[in-house]
Structure 1
Amino acid sequence: MIHTMRWFGPNDPVSLMDIRQAGCAGVVSALHQIPVGDVWSVDAIKERNALIHAGNEQFTDLQWLVVESLPVHEHIKKGLPTRSLYVENYKQSLKNLAACGIKTVCYNFMPVLDWSRTQLDYAMPEGHKTLRFVWEDFALFDLFILKRPNAAADYEPEIQQSASLKFEQMSQDEILHLTNTVLLGLPGSEEAFDLVNFQSLLDAYADIDDKQLRQNLYYFVKEVAPIAQELGISLCIHPDDPPRSLLGLPRVVSTEADLEELMQASNVRANGITFCTGSLGVRADNDLVNIVERFGDRIHFVHLRTTKREDGTRNFHEAPHLYGDVDMYAVVKALLAEEQKRKAAGYQDSELPMRPDHGFQMLDDLHKKTYPGYSGIGRLKALAELRGLEVGIKRSAAI
């Protein structure tokens, strides 16, 4: 696999030199400064590319290999009449990316929130800090802070009761901290949504059920994937995170069956998958190795991480990359077998770009301010473990 790390741009506390020294060949980046729905101009793409290439003459070369993400506008997700404008803008951004030689584009189709956790500094026994999702805390936010209409229907009576008792004991600072954590904005930003306006964003989906959101997604890929195919661009959708309905919003990229429907919606290879073992692995009913074997030809980008489901609950936390609920050995073995198939078939993209996802905050990074899940040392540790696993599988002729 081609080892990469995510770089959020010039303000990222993890520098390009850090990424070079980690032994990465590529960078995963995006133009977060451009409003969602606007066209990514050739000049803006070239400017980011120039930053990534700066110093390449003196040091190990880095390439901008993957865009993560080129966001899908909410009007497309909601199927509004104005979606055609934003679809055309998306196509133009793809054309501009292709003109600049960038051929892998990750996106997601999660309504309103891209991802959600309830704690960003959960302490592990060794002293690491990591991300955690607690169902009770999320219910507490939904029922007693946001006060979403009819929210009680989404939670078990015992969860409602325990959330109520916990809320009564919370200080205003604790309430504000949980609110900002749940409503943390898009990756690449540390700004949370405004609670005052957040309910209105949810209300806009009041008449959009699971079936309608799927149809809006399939409309999008039918429009965009054929253009991407012509451009030589691989589109790859990121699964829902967490892979279940939240805040009354449907989630339609959470299971193997969801992926199958999406692949059939536009049967071109450019309509592909970001294989995130962490997001898919939260659900025990997702067979990750089977997903690789079924849809390997459509996997264009890989996120390797694992979570640990907490027994008897819907809670989970980010776990050590080799020791969570994901059988990382079996998954990496399946991905390397897919690479061999591609090589034998003469594919130009026989090697899959991979990044270690969501590293622990640890060592010196405990004293730094970094994007949640994206501290440098934790990802370095993860990459070292995953690289060792990959080499071990190859050397043992296990594939």
Structure 2
Amino acid sequence: MSDVPVAVVGAGPVALVTALALAQSGIDVVVLNSGRDEANLFPVVHDWSVLPDLDRLGVLDDAIDLGFVDSSWGIRVLETGERIDLDLHVLDGVTRHPYNLHITPTVLCALLEERLANHPKAQIESGRLRNLSQDPTGATLTIEGPGGRRDLRTDWVVGADGTRSAVRRALGVGFPGFTWEERCVVSLIEADLEELEYAPSTFRVDDRYGAVLQKVAPRTWIHIHAEPLTLPTDSIGSRIPDVIRAAGPDTTIRLLDWQAERMHQRSADRYRVGRVLLAGEAAHVANRMIGHSPIASFFDAPRVVEALTAVIHRVADDSALDAYAADRRRVFIDHASPVSASRKLLVGKIGNRERLNTELEHYRRAAADPDALREMLLFNYELAGESPITAPSHTSKS
């Protein structure tokens, strides 16, 4: 006998959204809050394409109240002063949410945890995963928490516990790819960047001072830039002011906080092993400067819920889980990873003016032509992938 049908391991948005969606589908779920290994300052901007799922969970309105929405984003070329302004309102009529949601991960996670705490089908348990074993009928998680060690028996496990995933390591699944020769430095700054006409989400393009800026609140921004790993870690903080001053050399900018971490471009060999499924950054990770990796991670949640719900309610056999695993890996490798890498290079690595001009022309056309901008934005639907239960072979015969 299992203690619960599904255990979700993780503490970030992907884990919490997965658990809440399962609970709302009538499935008892335990969330093992094993701590967040990701930088908790970002991403602040949640893409328009993921907002319908937050809406279906009934949390979008509260999230908007706790943060804010904005439809504009832009590109600034530091050397020439060129500005390219883009507006998501071209998606009017395509989506009910033609805007991005600006909310810190800490605030969003607190909202999701509150909903889970008040749901009769869900419970949250704090602790570390010390062992994971499985057999044909279920899986056993050995958890070390405040009250000591205990075993949790479950039918299915979703590992959404970040790049250092204890679930993935317990399965012995490889995480091939590469590590960028740069670290990502994320700064929380106070500045009047709107007076300098920065869009709430801005790519600052420059081969030395390239950065991504995201508005958090009035006068408060996240500033994300990359620096070589060869630079010493003990002096990161002393180098930040020089980089963030590029946002507005004549504007007062105050550094409030910062974090730094290495950047990876990796995907697990498999996203399913028996009764265990991987999601989010436990399954795949790209550089966090650009949003396509978080978008792909977020879309893992409704897809894994769709597959598990169908299997548990016996409207599909477990080949739906294989379909989930194969398609989410395809989406990352074919779409999220290459686009994330390309846009990161645009922000800070294209020193050749001719090549940079070629890259920027794509965005200039989009800014001038609503149809071109709409087509560019709708690419994000590719990150949603395919339903894991639409193929006839996944329909249960029982």
Question: How does the TM-score come out when normalised to structure 1?
Answer: 0.29
Q: Kindly indicate which of the two structures has a greater share of residues assigned to helix.
A: 1
